[in-house]
Amino acid sequence: MTTTGENDPRLEKYRRMQRIRQFEAKAEAIHAAGEIPGALHTYAGMEASGVGACIALRDDDYMVGTHRSHGHPIAKGAKLRPLMAELLGKVTGICKGKGGSMHLSDFSMGSLGETSIVGSGGPVAAGAALGAKLQGLDRVALCFFGDGASSEGAIHEGMNLAAVWSLPAIFVCENNRFGMSTPTDKAVAGANVADRAHGYGIPGVIVDGQDVDAVEAAVREAVDRARAGKGPTLIETKTYRYGDHAVNMGRELTPRGPEHDDWVARDPITIYRKRLVEAGVADADLDAIDSAIADEVADALQFARDSDYPVFAEAFDHVFVDRLPIPADVSAHA
């Protein structure tokens, strides 16, 4: 068996998938305990889709996520401490504790942010791609969206403009079988979202979203095409989310059928670990990665817990509105 180091790209894919899985498990646990406010939309089961796509990008390429986006910045290479602190609403969070679970961003890694507005990332990615093209930058913009967003007008507006202007954009539909609790086949016409690419005269690609190597190959081809000035691509990753639309809601809202066990049996991390072992990577090396990431997640949580909450006087900092005076009766209690 061979031992591989930190710079092995194969292990980096495994490392990022494990970071997502363990981060999400910890987030779900502390959310259940009341440490994270609001709704929590987890990415477990979809790790190969995000990591395969983001590993094909450079750090300076742009990425736009969704409301289910803890996994996307981690897949792009973001550090865990600021992400966990953001979930807990702390001032050390990546958005100073003002964004929370559904609004993570990390400009240092090209992550332009996520949004709870379903489908709104399409025009943002098109705009980022247009900016890169006008400035003569050799960058691409990748937009994640779900099957539930695939019929939203904003997604199609973004794809249409990207096609008309031949922008360096990649649109990745993560078809995880459900839009909230509605099965995809009950809400999306046609067998494949990728087929809609033909309406814009761009390539439409379907890929196994549980296979990180297959996703990477598809996105790399789209990235190469975009950098060459040949315009956008629509990629549909067929994947599956393990959790409900939002976890810890008291009851399961997603209607699970017999296919659930089939999808869980094709767990993306299990598939990739088996492939690595068959290629000569030692089980001990992979176990060491698992353990190191558990320490990373524990460290991120401790960092978040030790951090302060934002103070009221800073409520309007970094917000694009005219700063309003704080009423004296409120300021006195801030």
Write out pLDDT tens, residues 223-260: 999 999 999 999 999 999 998 887 887 777 788 888 88
* Encoded tokens for 77: 């290479």
pLDDT of residue 192: 96
- Average model confidence (pLDDT) across the chain: 90
Pick from 16-20, 204-208, 325-329: least confident: 325-329
Q: What pLDDT score does 5 carry?
A: 65
Tokens of 204: 């439409």
Going by pLDDT thresholds of 50, 70 and 90, the confidence category of residue 329 is low
The mean pLDDT value for 156-168 works out to 97
8 A C-beta contact, residue 121 and residue 41: no
Whose tokens are 């507006």? That residue is: 157
Instruction: Pull the structure tokens for residue 191.
Output: 């067998």
Please choose, from the candidates 190, 187, 202, the residue with its C-alpha nearest in 3D space to the C-alpha of residue 235: 202
Mean pLDDT of 267-279: 98
Sign of the alpha-carbon torsion through 294, 270, 181, 187 = positive
Closest to 36 (Cα-Cα) out of 71, 88, 83 = 88
Does residue 2 carry a pLDDT above 50? no
Report the 10 Å Cβ neighbour count for 39: 16
Structural domains of the chain ordered from first start: 9-331 (3.40.50.970)
Strand blocks (E) in 189-309: 204-208, 233-238
H helices of 34-164, in order, are: 47-54, 71-76, 80-87, 121-134, 153-164
The highest-confidence range among 62-71, 92-101, 156-165, by mean pLDDT, is 156-165
Confidence of residue 331 (pLDDT cuts 50, 70, 90): very low
Task: List, for residues 3-59, the tens digit of each pLDDT value.
Answer: 456 779 999 999 999 999 999 999 999 999 999 988 888 889 999 999 999 999 999
User: Which amino acid is present at 272?
Assistant: Y
Question: In whole angstroms, what is the distance from residue 227 CA to residue 71 CA?
Answer: 25
